[in-house]
Structure 1
Amino acid sequence: MKLKAIALAAAASIGISVGAANAEPVNLTLSGGNPGGLWSLLGAGMDRAVKAADSDSVITYQATGGGFANIGLLGANRTDLGMVHDAEVKLALNGEEPFQTPITNMMAIGYMYNWAPMHFFLRRDIAEEYNIDSLDDIATSGAPISIGINRSGNITGNVALFMLAEAGLDEATLTGNDGSFVRAGANEQGDLMQDRRIDMATNGIFIGHSSFRAIDENVDVVLLQIPQNVIEATNEAFGTSAYTIPANSYSKQPEAVQTMALGAMVVTTESMADETAYTLGKAFVENINEIRSVHKAMQQLDPDLMVSQTVLPFHPGAERAYKEAGLLK
């Protein structure tokens, strides 16, 4: 009996030490995007959130090529956390380009935003000459338009091409009208519009982003409407959501524009310990102001939004934290 009691005490001691280990500070790497971009700011906010819960916790931001690269790192278990767009996750789960095979080991920690709407700015002189006010007018207009598309590897380029194709404008139709696609990043498109080297800019970023402001302030443009069937097809293909750009968001936009918006989330893998994911979810909810404060565009973030993504299952540890907070049933 005495030996049995000693064994039970030892087992209890082991259980206590394991529990203590599970409660230890987190020390994780978050793969994001550009060093000075929004995702790097979100990384800093997440780091502050976990430090507010435990001053010894650390989330280290790692600059990468963006969501596609981060999914590759997660799929190979070479990073702890990754910032990814919902649209990129949908492609990865289905094994669609640029992924060779489905990547299925991902689990969500939390949604960070879902308000990065697709914009299609067209020069007003072309819009008026060819009677274009909606995306589906371009294909039948015969207009020789040079269209800016984000660089390969950026999901907004994939989405823009898909939406244009759904509206009847593929590359063959565009070139047949003496138009072309021009690959360029957000700020580059603004410069190209001002220099009249492209006629249309496309991107999915927050309303009032600096690149959009440059276009709005320096080029006479119209913001094209998007047909409902194009919005629905895009949301089905990419796991995105419908969105309304309010009237007068830009200086020459008197009417609201219906479109769709990309969202971004923090993702981990099945290999993360439940207690680690629980610690993250709990810290993010209880210290959400640390994340909100990184940029004015993040003021809309709230706990309900954080649990609203639907493209991935939540990690069981994070799910437990959200259930305790009354955010999930």
Structure 2
Amino acid sequence: MNTTKNFLLHAVKTCAVATVVAATLGISSANARDPVNVSLITAPFGTGSYVLGSALEEISKKQHPWLRIASSESPGFIFNIKKLDKEPALKKSMIVGSGAGVAGLAASGDKPFDKKYAPPLKLIANYSLGAYWLATLDPKIKSVSDLAGKKVALGRAAQINWAVQPESIMRHGYGLGKDKTNIQYVGTKEAVDALLDGNVDAAVVGGYFDPLTKKMEVSPQTAEFLASGRKITHLPWGKGAVNKAKSTGMKMANITVPANAIEGVTTPLEVAADTISWMVAPEFPDDLAYETTKLIISNIQSFGEFHALGKLMSTEGLIYGWETSDIHPGALRAYREAGIIK
């Protein structure tokens, strides 16, 4: 009798345990989600944008249960915006490398774009902040206003940060349009080479900046220029000149590079900056924008393992230079949960 009783008691307990396990498994299955693939097009192979895009892909594989970001190179940010326009189905599943400057020009239809690309892209996160200004080897040139009638080498004509924005500041901030200054669009490295060779009077230089730590990483060609051993004069834009260019619709930010943040620069530099960002179309799903942004915030320290620019990433920098209305609603939710935006 006791054997039968014990057997029945054991059976009841076993059944109860099985029920709990089954319920737990059922909950787990309900919460499980199949992998969701999101594509990311960045910039040309070897650039910081390309490397950090690859970093985001690796982080998604290792740190997220179902979000899978597949990164690939592209010809550049202008191409990225045009691709979304030509293939609208991608707007629900693609992140693109972009920035405030290029996205603003696309939305307004100004050169180098041939039409208005609307509605404007929305921010997921900045992964860098580029800062740009002019430098000279001529001791007689003390400020940008002294460049009237001089030769100035910029990046290629389609490069927003290295050419379009500097030209806009010269024209609107100092009245130095192409009729008063000989502007040559030669490329970033080529601009510095032309200055070192004495073929131009000034050239565009710059680097990448963290607004939280105030640290700066100069661009490769700028590092080469600084290492030349020549007597260099850096020409700050000044906030007033940058603001005049901004008043025309050119998207930029004012930043002050602290003294000694750059080798040989002992006084603060008031220069222009532009965001370098991961952006999406408004159609991009809220939950994917939310999860992507949470992933970036949670793993922000990991990007420095992939590229020097990743070491400049900070929570403050992720949204620097943008209004909340420019941020994708899903991303905005993640920033508010993290306390980055109140």
Superposition TM-score, scaled by structure 1 size: 0.81
Aligned partners of 2:122 and 2:326 also within 8 Å:
yes
What is the correspondence of 1:29-178 to structure 2 with a 5 Å cutoff? Answer: 29-54=39-64, 57-76=67-86, 77=88, 78=90, 80-99=94-113, 100-114=115-129, 116-124=130-138, 127-128=139-140, 132-139=141-148, 142=149, 145-156=150-161, 157-165=163-171, 166-174=173-181
Provide Cα deviations, 1:160-190, integer angstroms capped at 9, x if missing partner: 111111212111112xxxxx32222222222
Please identify, of 207-216 and 33-42, the stretch whose mean Cα deviation from structure 2 is larger.
Answer: 207-216
Indicate the SS of the match to 2:119.
Answer: coil
Aligned partners of 1:74 and 1:106 also within 8 Å:
no
Query: How far apart are 1:257 and its partner, in Å?
Result: 1.5
- Which structure is richer in relative contact order (CA contacts within 8 A, separation 6 or more)? 1
Indicate the SS of the match to 2:326.
Answer: coil
Count of residues paired in the alignment? 298
Query: How far apart are 1:273 and its partner, in Å?
Result: 2.0
Aligned partners of 2:51 and 2:307 also within 8 Å:
yes
* Structure 1: runs of 5 or more not aligned: 1-15, 175-179
Q: Which amino acid aligns with 1:268?
A: V
- Inter-partner Cα distance in structure 1 for 2:103 and 2:166: 17
Where does residue 247 of structure 1 map in the other structure? 259
Query: How far apart are 1:230 and its partner, in Å?
Result: 0.6
Query: How far apart are 1:18 and its partner, in Å?
Result: 12
Please identify, of 245-254 and 42-51, the stretch whose mean Cα deviation from structure 2 is larger.
Answer: 245-254
- Inter-partner Cα distance in structure 2 for 1:199 and 1:98: 26
Where does residue 11 of structure 1 map in the other structure? none
Indicate the SS of the match to 1:276.
Answer: helix
Aligned partners of 1:123 and 1:200 also within 8 Å:
yes
Are positions 1:317 and 2:327 aligned together? no
Q: 1:57 to 1:228 in 2, by over 3 A?
A: closer
- Inter-partner Cα distance in structure 2 for 1:308 and 1:181: 30
- Inter-partner Cα distance in structure 1 for 2:56 and 2:201: 39
Identity of aligned residues (%): 21
Are positions 1:223 and 2:217 aligned together? no
Query: How far apart are 1:109 and its partner, in Å?
Result: 1.1
Q: Which amino acid aligns with 2:54?
A: A
Where does residue 13 of structure 2 map in the other structure? none
Where does residue 262 of structure 1 map in the other structure? 274
Superposition TM-score, scaled by structure 2 size: 0.78
Where does residue 25 of structure 1 map in the other structure? 35
Query: How far apart are 1:247 and its partner, in Å?
Result: 2.4
Q: 1:137 to 1:68 in 2, by over 3 A?
A: same
Alpha-carbon RMSD: 2.6
